[in-house]
Amino acid sequence: MKSSIAEVKVLKGEIQNLLLWSNSRTVATTLSSALDNSSEAKLRVIQKLLSKLIDDSKKELHCVRCHETFTKNRNSHNSCEIEHEFDEARDRIYRHWEGWTTVMNCCGHEVENDNFPDGFCSVSAHTTHASQVGYYDPKEGTGNSGIVPCSVKGCLLKEGDVESEDSEVSSDEEEEEDEENDCDSDEEDY
Ligand SMILES: [Zn+2]
Ligand SMILES: [Zn+2]
Ligand SMILES: [Zn+2]
Q: What is the pLDDT along the chain (190 residues), one digit of tens a residue?
A: 678 999 999 999 999 999 999 999 999 999 999 999 899 999 999 999 999 999 999 999 999 999 999 999 999 999 999 999 887 777 888 999 989 999 888 888 899 998 888 889 999 999 999 999 999 998 888 888 889 999 999 998 776 666 654 444 444 444 443 344 444 444 444 3
Please tell me the total count of domains within the chain.
Answer: 2
Same domain, 70 and 4: no
Distance 57 CA to ligand 2 centre (A): 16
Distance 65 CA to ligand 2 centre (A): 5
Rg (C-alpha) for the chain, rounded Å, is 22
Closest ligand to residue 122's CA: 1
Same domain, 61 and 121: yes
Same domain, 69 and 150: yes
Same domain, 155 and 184: yes
Distance 120 CA to ligand 3 centre (A): 19
Alpha-carbon span 156 to 78, nearest angstrom:
25
Distance 86 CA to ligand 1 centre (A): 8
Closest ligand to residue 76's CA: 2
Closest ligand to residue 173's CA: 2
Same domain, 90 and 25: no
Q: Which of 33, 49, 65 is the last residue of a domain?
A: 49
Same domain, 24 and 78: no
Write out the residue range of the structural domain in which residue 15 sits. 1-49
Same domain, 66 and 159: yes
